[in-house]
Amino acid sequence: MVDTGVVPSPSSDPALSRILVVEDESSINDVIATALRYQGHSVVQLADGRDGLAETARAHFDLVVLDVMLPGLDGFEICRRMREAGTLTPVLFLTARSDTEDRIRGFVTGGDDYLTKPFSVNELVLRVGAILRRAGTAAPSNLLVFDDLTLDPATREVRRSGRLVELSPTEFSLLHFLLVNANHVVSKAQILVDVWADDYDGSENIVELYIGYLRRKIDDGRPPLIHTKRGVGYVLRTAER
Ligand code: CA
């Protein structure tokens, strides 16, 4: 299980970034992950192409370091399917000399880049920093991220697994409150004060009602993130604890 803390992201400060490394050569994967963690990044390591693609759909990352030659699914195919699914996370490809320049160029667009093996770890760290800075200036944001759920206060866009979720203004405020308090139980009374403020002096049942609406939209067919703490309130968390 990856860590699921709420982090502001993508950020102009690369030290707050979440990076996925998909590389089947474990020694290379470890060297990359160690170097990136040393830079302050949070790193998820995977070795299989299909696992890598699934992880990009499941959780938010600021950058994916993608080996091209992978078991399961090659790096170019993973990137193609990510873009098809609407995931615009920048990719740094790790290519072998045998990959032709033309083939690589076809896949390297926008914020993407590539490194040819063998490369120095310093070079990799520099490239990663440059990509994150570009992404950070392109999209300054206070994006709230929890597991595969993102909420952008600026655009008021909410996504689960990359898919846009339409929320009413009240549902949006309720989800925002749950997100900023992720992993902490909040009571119905606290929710009423924060979300409804002075606009409502009825019963706390309205909170239950709106939690129900939100669940149907956010947790619909997916591992639930909104949990009831009987007699206490609600908490946004992953199912594993
Ligand atoms: Ca490989």
Domain range 7-134, its CATH number among 3.40.50.720, 3.30.1360.30, 3.40.50.2300, 2.60.120.10: 3.40.50.2300
Average pLDDT of the segment spanning 132-154: 74
DSSP 220: T
Give pLDDT, residue 216.
96
Give pLDDT, residue 11.
39
Which residues surround the ion ligand 1 when the cut-off is CB under 5 Å?
24, 67, 69
CA of 68 to the centre of ligand 1 (A): 6
* Of the listed ranges 151-155, 200-204, 217-221, the one predicted with least confidence: 200-204
Average pLDDT of the segment spanning 153-160: 85
How crowded is residue 37: how many other Cβ atoms within 10 Å of its Cβ? 12
Give pLDDT, residue 4.
40
CA of 96 to the centre of ligand 1 (A): 9
CA of 69 to the centre of ligand 1 (A): 4
Give pLDDT, residue 130.
87
CA of 66 to the centre of ligand 1 (A): 9
In angstroms, rounded to a whole number, what is the distance separating the alpha carbons of residues 217 and 225?
11
Within the chain, what is the greatest distance between any pair of CA atoms?
69
Plot region of 212 (φ>0 → left; ψ -120 to 50 → alpha; else → beta): alpha
Burial of 76: CB neighbours in 10 Å, binned 0-12, 13-18, 19+: buried
CA of 10 to the centre of ligand 1 (A): 28
Mean pLDDT of the chain: 85
Is the domain 144-236 a CATH 1.10.10.10 member?
A: yes
Instruction: Kindly report, residue by residue over 119-141, the tens digit of the pLDDT.
Output: 999 899 989 988 988 877 444 45
Give pLDDT, residue 39.
84
The answer to whether the Cα torsion of 32, 34, 39, 40 is positive or negative is positive
Residues of the chain with CATH 1.10.10.10: 144-236
Beta bridge partners of 175: none
- DSSP letters, 169-194, are HHHHHHHHHHHHTTTS-EEHHHHIII
Nearest CA among 194, 190, 193, 186 for reference residue 228:
186
pLDDT-derived band at 9, boundaries 50, 70, 90? very low
Q: Higher model confidence: residue 41 or residue 25?
A: 25
* Of the listed ranges 19-28, 87-96, 140-149, 159-168, the one predicted with least confidence: 140-149
Residue 240, pLDDT > 70, answer: no
CA of 70 to the centre of ligand 1 (A): 5
Helices marked H in 91-184? 101-107, 121-138, 169-180
Residues of the chain with CATH 3.40.50.2300: 7-134
Residue 49, pLDDT > 80, answer: yes
pTM of this prediction exceeds 0.75: no
Nearest CA among 164, 156, 157, 159 for reference residue 148:
159
CA of 44 to the centre of ligand 1 (A): 17
CA of 1 to the centre of ligand 1 (A): 23
In angstroms, rounded to a whole number, what is the distance separating the alpha carbons of residues 67 and 94?
4
CA of 35 to the centre of ligand 1 (A): 19
Average pLDDT of the segment spanning 54-71: 93
Give pLDDT, residue 6.
46
